[in-house]
Amino acid sequence: MARGRPCRWDRLRAAREHPRAYAGDALPPRGGEGVLLCAAGGVEAGTGGSVPTERKIALVAEIKALIEESEIAIGMAYQGMPVTDQTQLRSRLSEAGVTLRVVKNSLLLRAADEAGREQFRALADGPTALVTHPDDPVAAARAVENWRRDNADTPFEVRNAVIGDQLVDAAYVADLATVPPREELLGRLAGGLTGKITELAMLLQASTRELAGLIDARARQLEEAEG
């Protein structure tokens, strides 16, 4: 059977200029079109060309590891995002310790099955980018929502997310972004505990003083009775 051939030279050139876009760890060129190959007879064989079996196995293993290591994974639609915005988004997320990775849905589905994480199947809806964080869902949600707020005119959509073992919608992610940072919450907790401990100490001191007063009063009563 004849090998597929490039239907459009400009798409083939785009693939050569953006080789990492097809390694699974970067956004595709604008439009998400990849290299379009034609099968013998001129029938389109699909976007992105064929992926060697070994490469598919490796990609599934990588996505599976990402699924297993992430406390949160946000499913994001990115169609039509300019390359400059893609770069800015990745940079902003990275500053918050958040990772963005484009995944092929068929590989994501397979990885979800292998990891035993059925919830992740719901993220495979159209061209998909995963925004993940290993242990801080609030940081990931806030980074995404802050970028979306500052770039309201850019094509960008949060579809849903998996947090732990729970599948949530975009509204939940938006609400999660309003939760104070972990450091602030810990500070509030520590302050609250300090306040409670101080109140307890004052109560104990007051009780001790009251007990001492009662003992003194009783001693005086006994002395007066003897006298």
- Taking the C-alpha atoms of residue 162 and residue 156, their distance in angstroms, rounded to an integer, is 18
Q: Tell me if 58 is assigned to some domain.
A: no
pLDDT of amino acid 8? 41
- Write down the pLDDT at residue 133: 95
Based on the fold, state whether residues 71 and 117 are members of the same structural domain: yes
Alpha carbon distance 210, 35 (integer Å): 85
Same domain as 158, residue 129: yes
Give the pair of three-digit tokens for residue 214.
Answer: 């009662």
Number of domains forming the structure of the chain: 3
Three-state SS for 161-226 is EEECCEEEEHHHHHHHCCCCCHHHHHHHHHHHHHHHHHHHHHHHHHHHHHHHHHHHHHHHHHHHHH
CA distance to 14, 51, 215, per residue, from 22 (Å): 11, 10, 84
Domain that holds residue 20: 1-50
Q: What is the CATH number of the domain that holds 156?
A: 3.30.70.1730
- Please report, in tens digits, the pLDDT of each residue of the chain (227 residues total): 444 444 444 444 444 455 444 444 445 544 443 322 223 333 333 344 555 688 999 999 999 999 999 999 999 988 888 888 888 899 989 998 999 999 999 999 999 999 999 999 999 988 889 999 999 999 999 999 999 888 888 888 899 999 999 999 999 999 999 987 666 666 666 666 556 556 666 555 655 556 566 566 667 777 777 76
Q: For residue 222, what are its two tokens? A: 């006994």
> Are 80 and 163 contained in the same domain?
yes
CA end-to-end distance (rounded Å), the chain: 123
The answer to whether residues 118 and 91 belong to one domain is yes
Q: Note whether 152 and 222 are same-domain residues.
A: no
Is the separation of the CB atoms in 182 and 189 below 8 Å? no
